[in-house]
């Protein structure tokens, strides 16, 4: 598939992201201070940079695992069909679980992931999303921590891609398709 030509305008700077990750880590560390071991579940692929930065700031005993889910393919709109491409390796029954997501848009992906993981009977399950786009929400989901609320724009950078490109940007940028 041929990717359309586009431009990227900086929306959230690398410094702003780093500062917010640090404050999120403090809040999360405080919330889970009594946890024996937190299971941090990153949703691949978009959250990989966020999760790496966040867990380095957490002052907690933790284990990191990953789910790979897909609902976008190479497009700019959610298909609303959520597929689990890679399951967890470890058990979460009776454990504290924190899901790390790059962006919550329509809510379909997170809704499905929560149902999928809740069926495994964790002690509790919370969500931390780097970006929230509430204007696009079609399915309500509960997120305890949100890095930034953003407008209805397609974004890339800091792990988030457009057709597998631009994950390596240190900032979050707004994508504008060119004519």
Bridge partners of 86? 68
Which strands, in side-by-side order, build the sheet including 172-177? 6-12, 172-177, 155-156
Residues 6+ apart with CB under 8 A from 120: 91, 92, 93
Told to judge if 102 belongs to the known catalytic residues of this protein, a careful annotator would answer no
Angle at 146 between CA 32 and CA 167, to 5 degrees: 110
DSSP of 122-176:
-SEEEEEEEEE-GGG-SS----SEEEEE--S--EEBTTB-BTTB-TT-SSEEEEE
Selected catalytic residue, list 53, 102, 105, 132: 105
Residues taking part in catalysis: 105
């Amino acid at each position: 598939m041929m990717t359309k030509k586009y431009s990227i305008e900086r929306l959230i700077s690398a410094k702003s992201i780093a500062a917010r990750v640090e404050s999120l880590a403090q809040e999360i560390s405080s919330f889970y201070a009594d946890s024996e071991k937190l299971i941090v579940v990153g949703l691949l692929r978009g959250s990989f940079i966020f999760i790496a930065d966040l867990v380095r700031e957490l002052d907690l005993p933790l284990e990191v695992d990953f789910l790979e889910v897909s609902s976008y393919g190479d497009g700019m709109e959610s298909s609303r069909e959520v597929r689990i491409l890679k399951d967890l390796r470890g058990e979460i029954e009776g454990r504290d679980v924190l899901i790390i997501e790059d962006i919550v848009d329509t809510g379909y992906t997170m809704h499905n992931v929560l149902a999928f993981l809740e069926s495994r009977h964790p002690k509790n399950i919370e969500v931390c999303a780097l970006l929230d786009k509430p204007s696009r929400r079609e399915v309500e989901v509960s997120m305890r921590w949100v890095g930034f609320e953003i407008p209805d724009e397609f974004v890339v950078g800091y792990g988030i891609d457009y057709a597998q490109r631009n994950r390596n940007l240190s900032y979050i940028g707004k994508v504008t398709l060119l004519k």
